[in-house]
Structure 1
Amino acid sequence: MTIVIGFEGSANKIGVGIVRDGAVLSNPRRTYITPPGQGRFSVETAKHHRACVLSVLKEALLQAGIQPADIDCVAFTKGPGMGGSVVAVAIVARTVAQLWKKPLLGVNHCIGHIEMGRLITGAANPTVLDCVETQRGVISYSERRYRIFGEAIDIAVGNCLDRFARVIKISNDPSPGYNIEQMAKKGSQFVELPYTVKGMDVSFSGILSYTEEMAHKMLGAGECTPEDLCFSLQETLFSMLVEVTERAMAHCGSREVLIVGGVGCNLLQEMMEVMCQERGAKLFATDERFCIDNGAMIAQAGWEMFRSGHVTSLEDSWVTQRFRTDEVEVTWRD
C-alpha cells in the first residue's frame, strides 16, 4: 500500500490531494477569482495560494482520515505554470517533506492531467488532447515518452478564452471558459473568424486579435451580440482542436481519445464525441472534479512515478515555467 500527497498550484487553483493505490482519498481546492475584465497576476495569485495552502492541507488530511506518518511520498507541481504560484506551493511541499521526513517528487503538470485521466476513465492507450493553459498539445505515448504530435505555436486555448472574456468583461466566477459556454448557448449568428491549422499545430493569437477587433466594431454597431461572438469563438477554436486530434489518431492508428485539462469540461467533449463516432473510436473525459487543476492529479502521477523509482532530491526540487511533457521519461507505463 502506497499513499502519496500531491500539491498543485500552477495557476489560479490551489489544491492538495491524497491518493492510495489508485483510490482518491481527498481532493480539496480553492480558486483565486479576479473581477470581470481583469486577468490574474502572479504576485496576487501566489499571495492567495500562500493564504490558503495550510487550510487546504489540513482539509485533505482530515477528509482522507490519515496522519502525516501514513504518507509515503510528497509530490508537487514542478512546472509548467505561473512563476509565483508554482514557487509558493513548491516551498510548502518541500517544507512538509522535510518536516515529515518523506521523499519529495517533482511532477510535470500536464502528466498529472494525463495520469489522472487514465485512472478515472480507464483509457488504455489513448491519443490525448491536452487543454491545459500553460502547455497544450496532441499527445500520444510511445517508447517511454509522452510524444507531442501537435501544439499551439503561440498561446493556449485556455489563454485565448480567458483574454477574450476580459475584453467583453465576462465574469471570472467560476471560470471565464464556463461563462463563455453559457453565453454561447444563446448565440444565434455565426461570425466567421480566422481558422489557423498548420499541419499538426494550431495558432490562436490571430483569432484572438481578430475577435477583439470585432468585439469593438460589431458590438458597437449592433451587428452581433456578445453571445454570438462567444458562440462563434467556441465553434472555431474547438473545431481546430478536433481536426488536429483526428489527424493524430489517423497517424497513430488510435481508437481512443482522452481529453484532459480545464477547457476539456465543456462543449469540446460533445464535438469530439461526434468525430469519434464517425471514426468508430471511443472518447474518454473526466468531469470538473478531475479535469480542472487539482492536487489528486499530482498525487496520482507521483504515485506512478514513486513506485517506479523516481525521487527528487532537495537540490533538484526547483520549479520551472517551461517543462515540456516529452522531457519526462515514462518508466511506469511498460
Structure 2
Amino acid sequence: MNLLISLGIEGTAEKTGIGIVDSDGNVLAMAGKQLYPEEGGIHPREAAEHHAKWIPQLIPQAMEEAGLSYKDIDFISFSQGPGLGPALRTVATSARTLALSLNVPIIGVNHCIGHVEIGKLDTGARNPVTLYVSGGNSQVIAYESGRYRIFGETLDIAIGNCLDHFGRETGLGHPGGPVVEKLAKEGSYIDLPYVVKGMDFSFSGLLSAALRAHKNGERIEDICFSLQETAFAMLVEVTERALAHTEKDEVLLCGGVSANSRLREMMQIMAEEHYAKFYMPEMKYSGDNGVMIAWLGQLMYKTFGPLKIEDTHIIQRFRTDEVDAPWVDNTKYKLNLPKEIRAKGAESDIYEATWLGREAIVKNRVSKSYRIVEIDNKI
C-alpha cells in the first residue's frame, strides 16, 4: 500500500507554518516563520500580509527538505479555523490555489484538534486529557462520545493573551510570556484574584488586578510571580477536575504557552499526584506549526475524504467539539491507584474505612504540591 503525502498549511494567527507528513505519521518536512510586531500586539491585517509573503517561500523550502517533487503531494490540508479572519482567508486562498494547480484534493481541519493530535503522535499518548494553552485559546479537552469535548475553557481572554497584554501594558514588550517567566523567578507572592467558575476560568479580572498592582508601585517581579502562579494554578486545577471526571490516566500539555517551564512543572506534579502519566510534545510541535495540520489532514482524509472547493470556506469560530473524530482510540485506561485509595478526586482522595463499627467512605482533602502554599490555603 502506497503512503499518502499531505502538505499542511498553518496560519491562524502570527505564525506561518508548512508541514509535510505521510499517512504513517512520518514527518518529512517542517518550515515556519513567526511574525514579531514592531509594537503592540498582532494586527489581523499584518498577520495576513505575513502569511501572503511567507507561504510561497516556505512551501518550496519544505519540498526541498522532504526531497519530494510536487507530483508526490497527494492532497493539501489547511487550518480552516479558529483564528484571525484575514489570516485564515489568506491560508485558505493559498491552499485552494495550490490544490487546484496541482489537481489534488483539499481538506480543512480544526486548528485546536491539530494541537492535540500532533501531541499524541509525538508522545505516544493514547487518549489523554489535554490542556491546550496559547495566545488565542485556553481549553481543557478530552475525547468523549465520538468528539473532542471541551471540559473547561476561558470565559474571556486566553492565558497567552493575558500574559502578552500584561507585557505590553507594563513595557516588558511582546511576547510577554517569556519575560514574565524570567522576572517571576525573582518574585514573591502578592494576593491576586483566583477565578475558577465551575469548570471554566477567567483571566480578564486577574489581568486588571495585576495592572493595578503595577500602577500602585508593586515590584514587577512580585506581580509577574503572582500572575503566573495564580493563572497556572487555575489551569491545572481545572485540568485535574477533568481528569477526575473522565477517569483517564494520561495528561497532555500543548500550545505555545507550554513553553513556560513553571507550567510544565506544575502539570508534571499534578499528574504524578493523580497517578496519571504526563506528556508534552517537543517544543517545535507545541506552538503553531504546519506539521499538525498535515497530520490531522491525514486522519480526516482517511475518515471522511476531501472537501469540495466550495466547502473550504473559513470558520473563524470553529469549535473543538464541532468535529466528529471516530479515529480516536477510546479504550478506557484506568488509573493505577494504590490499594488503599478507592477513587481519586480533583481535591481529595476517597478511602474505604470503618466508622463506629460500620463500613464507611472517607473523603480526605489533599494539599496540592503544584500550588504555592499561599494559593492552596485560600482555596
Shorter-normalised TM range: over 0.9
For 2:145, the equivalent position in structure 1 comes to 143
Measure the CA separation in 2 of the matches of 1:153 and 1:235.
19
| 2:239 maps to 1:241 | no
SS in 2 for 1:139: strand
Residue type of the alignment partner of 1:329: D
Measure the CA separation in 2 of the matches of 1:100 and 1:301.
21
Residues 13 and 31 in structure 1, CA contact (< 8 A), matched pair in contact too? yes
Q: Which moved more, 1:115-124 or 1:300-309?
A: 300-309
Residues 107 and 306 in structure 2, CA contact (< 8 A), matched pair in contact too? yes
For 1:25, the equivalent position in structure 2 comes to 28
| 2:181 maps to 1:181 | yes
Residues 127 and 328 in structure 2, CA contact (< 8 A), matched pair in contact too? no
**1:249 CA drift (Å):** 0.5
Measure the CA separation in 2 of the matches of 1:191 and 1:102.
57
Residues 265 and 287 in structure 1, CA contact (< 8 A), matched pair in contact too? no
Q: Deviations over 1:225-284 (max 9, x none)?
A: x22211111111000001000111100111110011111121211101111111111110
Alpha-carbon RMSD: 1.2
1:1-334 equivalences under 5 Å are: 1-20=3-22, 21-36=24-39, 38-172=40-174, 175-187=175-187, 189-218=188-217, 223-224=218-219, 226-266=220-260, 267-333=262-328
Residue type of the alignment partner of 2:140: V
Residue type of the alignment partner of 1:132: S
Residues 135 and 324 in structure 1, CA contact (< 8 A), matched pair in contact too? no
**1:170 CA drift (Å):** 1.9
**1:178 CA drift (Å):** 2.0
Measure the CA separation in 2 of the matches of 1:69 and 1:191.
60
Measure the CA separation in 1 of the matches of 2:305 and 2:279.
28
Q: Deviations over 1:167-206 (max 9, x none)?
A: 112233xx4322221222232x212111000111101111
Q: Deviations over 1:94-134 (max 9, x none)?
A: 10000001111001000110110000010011011111333
Compute the TM-score of the two structures, normalised by the length of structure 2. Answer: 0.83
Residue type of the alignment partner of 2:257: V
Residues 141 and 147 in structure 1, CA contact (< 8 A), matched pair in contact too? yes
**1:136 CA drift (Å):** 2.6
SS in 2 for 1:22: coil
Residues 10 and 86 in structure 1, CA contact (< 8 A), matched pair in contact too? yes
Residue type of the alignment partner of 2:234: M
Compute the TM-score of the two structures, normalised by the length of structure 1. Answer: 0.94
Measure the CA separation in 2 of the matches of 1:171 and 1:70.
43
**1:313 CA drift (Å):** 1.1
Gapped regions of structure 1 (runs ≥ 5): none
Residues 110 and 132 in structure 1, CA contact (< 8 A), matched pair in contact too? no
**Percent same amino acid at aligned positions?**
46
**1:81 CA drift (Å):** 0.5
SS in 2 for 1:27: strand
Residues 49 and 89 in structure 1, CA contact (< 8 A), matched pair in contact too? yes
For 2:355, the equivalent position in structure 1 comes to none
**1:63 CA drift (Å):** 0.7
Q: Deviations over 1:50-88 (max 9, x none)?
A: 111111111111111111111111000000001111111
Residue type of the alignment partner of 1:213: R
Q: Which protein is richer in helix relative to its size?
A: 1
Gapped regions of structure 2 (runs ≥ 5): 330-379
